[in-house]
Amino acid sequence: MSVYSVYCLVCLILSAVGTLIFIIRYTHQLTVHFPCLFLLIPLAEVGYFMLSMSSNLEEALLATKITYLGGCFIQPMITFSILTMCKINLRKPILTVFYASTMLLCGFAMTIGFNKIFYISASFHIDPADGGVILDKHYGVVHMFFYIVIILHTLAGIAILLYALISKRKNVSTTTIGLYVTIEVIGLSSYFISRKVTPKLELMAAIYVLTELILMIMISYMRLYNIAVNSAEAYEKRNTNGFITFDRKMRYIGANAAALKIYPELADVRINTRPDITKSENFAAFDKWLTYISQTKVPSDFDVSLDDHFYNVNVNLLKYRSKTIGYSISLEDTTQNRVYTHLLEDYNHKLNEEVAQKTEHIKEMQDKAILTFAEMVENRDSSTGGHIKRSSQGVRFITSKMQGDRKDATPEFCSALMNAAPMHDIGRIAIPDVILQKVGRYESWEYEIMKKHAEKGAEIIHKAFEFYDDTDFRRIAENIAHYHHERWDGDGYPMGLSGSGIPLEARVMSIADVYDALVSKRTYRERLSFEEAYNTIMDGMGKQFDPSLAKYFAASRSELENYYSQLGE
């Protein structure tokens, strides 16, 4: 095997490996032109290797045909991929002419050795000095059109890329444009200088390998943009929150329509660049966000105000195959929630002003306000209707058995616990509708958002009852909302508390909450029987639930089953 055959074999192997890597990593959500390119290039490499190994004219001509079979379509495919990237749609007649002319040229190339339209003549000999194959060709008139088509495709591709660069097509990265131009220039020049180097060295074999490498680098960029854009589009369909993405160097990648309403200046920012803070006061604040993100542990969230609106900014890592490739930023408009909070604060302030004269009346109003607000939250979740009332009644049954039987279950504590129970899920008001009202089981990321209702509920209660004189009631209500999803074994959330470190009121609420969930129908499962639900709770004593409460739950069994039977649950 000559050194030229080894060279062609190495190029063939490298191109095959490149195609394999492409198939494994990059085929998802790419246009047909890229897979075609990664199949055509190894085909052309096979032709070059066969040519270097030929022993006679017939074998050399066959190898040349295989090379043309791949090479005729490579440049057109590059041009069409450029059009797709720039979102330029050609009319079908133009596409038909392009494809037809390419296939016609390929057909003429297949006539080599049969007529003189593509090759007038060809001679074959092997250099005895180094074993290199030399195929001397005298081109026919049609071969000139082959060069013309290649040149036209190259110039058209470069023209389209320049148009994308100077126009307002912000969806095209300058990095991608530069890589495409590199492919075009190298490819075109190699067609005309390869024979200047040596007739035995097929320079295009190496150029095709280089083309594959550049394409994979370019596709990596395009993959990042596609992931960001697709994520933004999916998020936009399911939620009205703003969504913005950046790469690891804090360069802008994309945003959905809601984010563009908040930051309209983003429409003028080219992707793969960092927003210019000198062009907008809003961008000055935005730059502080980026600085904060780059210096703070992610995921994280913080609150900002902008144009009389308040937003909760949540930052998460954007990943692909477990590798961090950027950041996703969601902006949730919390203005309305703040209004609700202020209304509650004002309402409770007025209640406190009347405490001296109408203590009992205020207590009655408070209970009604709690139930009304809790029901308002529950009405947003169509899958758990009546849960607040039922679980609150379960708390009453269990608490009534505790009172007088243990020192920490004082009458005041039990009364506050029963009155605060309806507010245990009040934090759901801060959960987006798309999560709260989802039919079926949550995805892992949706469940992480849903789990935030515990902390949000504690915050709402803390603010709503800030001026309430009964500090014990406020503490109990806040603990119930915050810790009713904690587990005795420490595997709960949001704080991972365990054992007696979990407030007693939250431990009681947890039993009633889970029992109602078990005996109630959900969109993703049927209700359990009373026997199954009872056994599940008892089996969880010492793991999920406080074992010291087992006897009170057992004593409440008949009351719970009678109550749910009357409800038809």
Question: 143 lies in a domain?
Answer: yes
Which of 226, 247, 282 is the C-terminal boundary of a domain? 226
* 68 and 214 share one domain: yes
Query: What is residue 137's three-state secondary structure?
Result: strand
Beta carbons of 253 and 205 less than 8 angstroms apart: no
Question: 283 lies in a domain?
Answer: yes
- Percent of the chain exceeding pLDDT 90 equals 18
Task: State the residue range of the domain holding 83.
Answer: 3-226
Q: What is the CATH number of the domain that holds 394?
A: 1.10.3210.10
Q: What is the CATH number of the domain that holds 300?
A: 3.30.450.20
Determine the Cα–Cα distance for residues 530 and 487; give it in Å rounded to an integer.
22
* 209 and 67 share one domain: yes
476, β-bridge pairs: none
pLDDT digit string, tens, across residues 413-455? 998 899 888 888 888 888 887 887 777 777 888 889 989 989 9
Beta-sheet strands, E only, within 340-457: none
Q: What share of the chain is helix, strand, coil (3-state, %, to 5)?
A: 65, 10, 25
Question: 233 lies in a domain?
Answer: no
pLDDT digit string, tens, across residues 478-520? 999 999 999 999 999 999 999 999 999 999 999 999 999 899 8
* 159 and 108 share one domain: yes
Span 152-156, average pLDDT: 83
Question: What's the number of domains the chain is made of?
Answer: 3
pLDDT digit string, tens, across residues 511-548? 999 999 899 887 667 889 999 999 999 999 999 999 99
- Percent of the chain exceeding pLDDT 70 equals 81
* 400 and 528 share one domain: yes
Beta carbons of 38 and 22 less than 8 angstroms apart: yes
Distance between the two ends of the chain, CA-based, in angstroms?
83
Which of 271, 306, 333 is the C-terminal boundary of a domain? 333
* 218 and 137 share one domain: yes
Determine the Cα–Cα distance for residues 293 and 234; give it in Å rounded to an integer.
23
pLDDT digit string, tens, across residues 215-267? 888 777 766 655 554 554 554 555 568 888 888 787 888 888 888 888 888 88
Question: 232 lies in a domain?
Answer: no
Q: What is the CATH number of the domain that holds 144?
A: 1.20.1070
pLDDT digit string, tens, across residues 260-298? 888 888 888 888 887 776 666 666 666 677 777 767 666
Question: 234 lies in a domain?
Answer: no
**In 239-386, which residue ranges form alpha helices assigned H by DSSP?**
257-262, 281-295, 335-353, 359-378
Please provide the average confidence, as pLDDT, over all residues in the chain. Answer: 81
* 255 and 383 share one domain: no
pLDDT digit string, tens, across residues 156-172? 888 888 887 787 656 67
Question: 128 lies in a domain?
Answer: yes
| 542 conformational bin, left if phi > 0, alpha if psi -120 to 50, beta if neither | left
Query: What is residue 254's three-state secondary structure?
Result: strand
Q: Which of 192, 216, 212, 214 is nearest to 203 (CA)?
A: 192
Beta carbons within 8 Å of 228's beta carbon, 6+ residues apart: 245, 253, 254, 318, 326, 328
In a 10 Å sphere around its CB, with 0-12 CB exposed, 13-18 middle and 19+ buried, how is residue 121 labelled? Answer: exposed
* Orientation angle between helical segments 471-483 and 411-420, nearest 10 degrees: 50
Question: 358 lies in a domain?
Answer: yes
Q: What is the pLDDT of residue 195?
A: 56
* 122 and 159 share one domain: yes
Beta carbons within 8 Å of 383's beta carbon, 6+ residues apart: 437, 439, 522, 523
For 37-70, b/e burial (b = at least 16 CB within 10 A) is bbebbbbbbbbbbbbbbbeeeeebbbbbbbbbbb
Beta carbons within 8 Å of 402's beta carbon, 6+ residues apart: 409, 414, 508, 549, 552
pLDDT digit string, tens, across residues 324-356? 788 888 888 887 777 676 776 777 777 677 665
The more confident residue out of 28 and 120 is 120
Count of residues making up the chain: 569
Q: What is the pLDDT of residue 313?
A: 81
* 407 and 443 share one domain: yes
* 328 and 365 share one domain: no
Which of 201, 226, 251 is the C-terminal boundary of a domain? 226
Q: What is the pLDDT of residue 568?
A: 67
Determine the Cα–Cα distance for residues 383 and 392; give it in Å rounded to an integer.
18
* 452 and 355 share one domain: yes
* 17 and 161 share one domain: yes
Beta-sheet strands, E only, within 148-255: 242-247, 252-255
Encoded tokens for 86: 């720039």
How many helices (H) and strands (E) the chain has is answered by 21, 7
Question: 172 lies in a domain?
Answer: yes
* 8 and 149 share one domain: yes
